[in-house]
Amino acid sequence: MSHHKVRITVNGTVGEGEIESRLLLVHYLRETRGLTGTHVGCDTSNCGACTVMLDGRTVKSCTVLAVAADGADVLTVEGLAGGGELSPVQEGFRQCHGLQCGYCTPGMVMAATGLLLENEAPDETEIREGIEGNLCRCTGYDMIVDSVRWAAANGGAGEAAHRHVHGRGAPAPDAAAPAPSGTQPAPVVTP
Amino acid sequence: MGSMVGAAVVRKEDPALLTGRGTYVDDVRLPGTVHMAYVRSYLAHARILSVDTTGAAAMPGVLGVWTNADLEGMPPNRSVPGMERPCLAKDRVHFVGECVAVVVATDRYLAADAAEAVLVEYEELPVMASVAAATAEDAVPIIEGTASNVVLEQVLSATDAEEELAAAPHRLAIHLKNQRCAAVPMEPTVCLSDWQNSGLTIYATTQTPHHMRNEMAQMFGLSQQEVRVVAPDVGGGFGAKASCYPEFLLTAELSRRLRRPVKYVETRSENMTSMVHGRAQEHDVEVGFDDDGRLLALRVRITQDCGGWPDATGIGLPTLTSFMSGGCYKIPVIAPSFRSVVTNTTPVGSYRGAGRPEASFMIERVVDHVAAELGLDPLEVRRRNFVQPGEMPFATQFEGIVYDEADFPGALDKLLEHVDYPLLRKEQATRRDDPAAPLLGIGFSTFVEMGGFGPTPLFEQFGYVGGWESANVRLNVDGSAVIKVGTSPHGQGHQTAFAQIVADELQIDFDRITLIHGDTATVQEGIGTMGSRGVPVGGSAVMKAAIKVREKAARIAAHMLEADESDVELVDGEFRVKGAPGKSVGMGEVAVRAFKPHLLPDGFDLGLDETAFHEPQNLSYPSGAHCCVVEIDRDTGKVRIARYVAVDDCGTVINPLMAKGQIHGGVAQGIAQALLEEVAYGPDGQPLSGTLVDYTLPSAVDLPHYETDHLVTRTSFNPLGAKGLGESGATAAPQSVVNAVVDALSHLGVRDVEMPCTPQKVWRILQQNGS
């Protein structure tokens, strides 16, 4: 089994190490980086529970090899809330009861965040189409639509997502996160 | 202090789940954990000639490979007596996806590699992947030791109603299919077993941790105190996580052998063939009625496909269907019977509603058939047959099945406040005359189902120790409260709902109440979360425990206030002496005093810590009325839901926000069953719907906006007055959609469209009937 050395920034923290070349990004995040907020709900790229932002774009991290993220900047659900405050999307889901069991939620929140980065004021159809790649079995989606609308009206994608897109590599304001030492910001790749 | 019960407060659960800080089973990390992977059968019916594990066992990281023969003495999975399912197939496989061997390796990738390298040689056997094939002349029994694939037959009435049917002015025979569905919780089955000298701990995706503890202890010959089952955050269940799966036993046994924690994480592809399916019933119905549409007699012959190994719960589901076959109507004679048939398919068990949606679908389709036959309005036929509010509680002809308080006509009236029915009918006629316009259909469902499962004699039949639920409420020294409850939520929001109940009973701040659940080591006793029992049964236990705490606190307060206990009342969070408004002590002061023996009467039992059980007097019966308006594209046959309106009567509503969520989710699954989903097999038993795309699990673009309202008729069957609502949406929705689809096509002479009403199916009907 071949191995590769990678350097991947996740939520502003750089990680360097050798990984198996077939390791999926989602397993890299969950097992190597210990970020278990990103979930796996299928093995055919349908459900979107594993959605994260990779260099400014939402991707299904079960369909990306971790080696392909070498040098990249990843934002996961753990990186959205800054300084203990939920991001507008997270808060919207809370206010509008956009989650029940919570398993699809991290992916759904990331997809909604990605949507609001592209479209600050989506209408209902645009919201539904924007989250079409993410499956939820609990809510029937209507209250997720409400949640995204709430977020659009109350701050949009949020600071962490904007920072991820515009100033990748900068550490999150969460003071608890260790600052990357002696590393350069990950290279900027325009989506 | 305002009432918390009835308030739409946001959930306590959410901040953790929204920030990736939830703990699902696969998030639990134990040092030294190794990973189990299955070798599964790719054939639906075959004899296992040999299993060659040598190559796999020699692969890197592999700790071992086991077949049935290597696990002598291992108990079978939870089974129906006489049809014990081995955890790994012995000699024969009964369905695609049945486990044949297991591999354990140091990481999950290596385990998957090694599973691929296990070589199994099969001899194919004739496949019986449908009830028709399994009951054909030349069918052979799939389960060794059985005489026939019909493994259970029951008649649930004294008469077959032939006399009444023959005497009725009108008689109709109707065949209905409730297709096989998959629950598809977004988190598949996951478990992590850690068998130590002190006993066995299992983290598992289960709805019933205490039940699982009892079973695991019994299966492995351990005492219950040696087994701990933890259901941490669980990613949906919908009934399917109430079943016991071979991996629970296998990870335990292999952890015992390897002296390491063993984890199993099911893939979605495995889940689609391994987790129990639901529904899978066919109904042969005969109904007798008069010229006015009054129902006179009903005969229902149910066929339950129970898959390759009968599930202990699944095999009994048609009993519930039988009990509910009269719906919310007064029918003088009902004659249900059923047969359960083993086929070469995935086992069938509980799925949201478990037996009752099938009944509601049947009777609501029957009522529409009767209306069509007589040229009457379907609402008129419903109104003429409703059990009236004044007749509640209503004893059905089935012993013990007594409907509690409800208002069936009232729910329909409330529904019609939201729907301009005459206008819709006018619009429908206009559309029919305009070939360019999509067809319009209006469908109704006036439903009743069972909630609040218990009581104990009923639940014993499904293998549970009881039908009660248990709760403990404890006040800390600082006056904050901890609840422990035996229900095991997996999305229902019990932390929030139960804190609302305690906040009212003890008049303490909602934010100072925490709920502990899903761990047999910390929670006293429990049954679990299924059968819409969370609030009616679990919530009632919580309420009773809180009342016991309040009563004890009042005794302490009376001592502090030097008043008679009967003169002390709790008002706005303070105990006061009636008629002496100046004298009061807060709950916080009482909580401190509860721990000061020298300041209490001699011998006073310290602490405020009370446990209560709630045994429901009977099942509760949530009901309501739904309306679905569909548009059908004449060129493609695609059904679009133009409006969906649900009026639900679940009795007392604890939290309107969460109630809405439960209704939405249930309706979504019902719509999905009506229009999209079906677990299908080829004649060779190969699954045709093995991925989420093939199964057409709906996304946000496939489902509509829902309009909801409540009628509140409190049940007298529990102290909260709540009936449960987790399954109502899924019970009510399929037939309101199908009735609407049939209604849209009725001018073409169409009387029935089988679920799922896919574009292809509807398009064919349109072509055949020359729309």
Q: Which is more confidently placed, A182 or B268?
A: B268
In Å, how far is A181's CA from the nearest CA of chain B?
A: 25
Q: What residue ranges define each of the domains in chain B, with the CATH number in brackets? A: 14-125+184-274 (3.90.1170.50), 277-453+618-768 (3.30.365.10), 468-614 (3.30.365.10)
Let me know how long chain A is: 191
Provide the strand spans (E) within B275-349.
Answer: 277-289, 295-307, 333-342
Cβ separation of A101 and B692 shorter than 8 Å?
Answer: no
Does the beta-carbon distance from A97 to B21 stay under 8 Å?
A: no
Peptide bond into B455 cis (omega under 30): yes
CB contact under 8 A, B705 and A42: no
Nearest residue of A to residue B672, measured between CA atoms: A140
Query: Which residues on chain B are in Cβ contact (under 8 Å) with A102?
Result: 13-14, 17-18, 22, 233, 235, 491
Residues on chain B touching A97 (C-beta within 8 angstroms)? 10-11, 657-658, 660-661
Distance CA B304, CA B341 (A): 6
CB contact under 8 A, B11 and A94: yes
Q: Which of B233, B492, B661 sits opposite A139 (nearest CB)?
A: B661
Nearest-5° Cα angle at B99, B93 to B103: 140
pLDDT at A175: 38
Cα–Cα distance for residue pair B16/B487, rounded to 1 Å: 20
Shortest distance, CA B465 to any CA of chain A (angstroms)? 27
Find, among B299, B263, B307, B296, the residue nearest to B96 by Cα. Answer: B307
Distance (Å, whole) CA B35 – CA B109: 9
Q: pLDDT tens digits, residue range A48-77?
A: 999 999 999 999 999 999 999 999 999 999
Q: What is the largest CA-CA distance in chain B?
A: 90
Record: contact A78-B19, CB cut-off 8 A: yes
Per-residue burial over B440-455, b if 16 or more Cβ lie within 10 Å, else e, is: bbbbbbbbbbbbbbbb
Whole-angstrom Cα distance, residue B27 to residue B22? 8
pLDDT of residue B771: 56
Look at residue A176 in the predicted model and tell me its pLDDT.
40
Q: Give residue-wise pLDDT tens across range A128-163.
A: 999 999 999 999 999 999 999 999 999 999 999 999
Query: CB distance B700–A23 less than 8 Å?
Result: no
3 state DSSP class of B700: coil
In chain A, which residues have their Cβ closer than 8 Å to the Cβ of B493? 100
Question: Quick check: B385 and B294 in contact, CB under 8 A?
Answer: yes
Give the residue on B whose Cα is nearest the Cα of A139.
Answer: B665
Candidates B11, B13, B19, partner chain A, best to mutate (most A CBs within 10 A): B19
pLDDT bucket at A168, cuts 50 / 70 / 90: low
pLDDT of residue A84: 80
Please work out, in degrees rounded to the nearest 5, the angle formed at the alpha carbon of residue B729 by the alpha carbons of B337 and B695.
80
Selected residue with higher pLDDT from A191 and B581: B581
A37/B22 CB distance under 8 A? yes
The pLDDT value recorded for residue A185 is: 40
Under an 8 A CB cutoff, do A133 and B27 touch?
no
pLDDT at A182 over 50: no
Torsion of CA B204, B205, B211, B212, to 10 degrees: -40
**B interface mutation test: which of A128, A135, A138 has the most B CBs within 10 A?**
A138
Q: Take residue B325 and report the two structure tokens written for it.
A: 């076959």
> How far is Cα B745 from Cα B761, in angstroms, rounded to an integer?
12
The verdict on a CB contact (< 8 Å) between B669 and A137 is yes
- The nearest alpha carbon in chain A to B27 belongs to A36
| Tokens describing residue B394 | 């209503």
Q: Taking CB atoms and an 8 Å cutoff, what residues of chain A touch B27?
A: 30, 36
CATH among 1.10.3720.10, 2.130.10.10, 2.120.10.30, 1.10.150.120 for A88-159: 1.10.150.120
With H, G, I as helix, E, B as strand and everything else as coil, classify residue B626.
Answer: strand
Neighboring chain B residues of A42 at a CB cutoff of 8 Å: 267-268, 691-692
Q: Chain B partners of A142 at a C-beta cutoff of 8 Å?
A: 664, 703-706
Please tell me the pTM assigned to this model: 0.96
SS3 state at B451: strand
Pairwise CB contact (< 8 Å): A145 & B14 = no
Cα R_g (chain B), whole angstroms = 28
- How many Cα atoms occupy the beta-carbon half-sphere of B87 within 13 Å? 27
Residues of A with Cβ-Cβ distance to B657 under 8 angstroms? 97
A28 pLDDT more than 70:
yes
B561, amino acid identity: L
Give whole-number Cα distances, B407 to B162, B391, B420, B713, B721, in Å: 31, 10, 21, 7, 15
How far apart CA B301 and CA B723 sit, in angstroms, is 29
CB < 8 Å to A145, chain B:
700, 705
Determine whether B583 is exposed, middle or buried from the number of CB atoms within 10 Å of its CB (0-12, 13-18, 19+).
middle
Q: In this structure, what DSSP letter does residue B637 have?
A: -
Q: Which of B235, B667, B701 sits opposite A103 (nearest CB)?
A: B235
Q: Which of A89, A137, A139, A145 to mutate to test the interface with B (most CBs of B within 10 A)?
A: A137
For the domain made up of A3-77, the CATH class stated in words is alpha beta
Inter-chain touch B268–A47, beta carbons under 8 Å = yes
Alpha helices in B691-770 (DSSP H): 728-745, 759-768
Q: Domain extents for chain A?
A: 3-77, 88-159
Judge whether B541 and B532 are in contact, CB under 8 Å. Answer: no
Residue B592 sits at φ, ψ, to 5 deg, of -65, -45
Kindly identify which residue of chain A lies nearest to residue B187, measuring between CA atoms.
Answer: A41
The neighbouring-strand residues paired with A19 are A4
Chain B residues whose CB is inside 8 A of the A35 CB are: 20
Question: SS3 of B646, please?
Answer: strand
CB B104 within 8 A of CB B64: yes
Residue of A nearest to B670 (CA): A140
| pLDDT over 90 percentage in chain A | 84
pLDDT score for A82: 80
Under-50 pLDDT residues of chain B: none
pLDDT at residue B599, as a whole number: 97
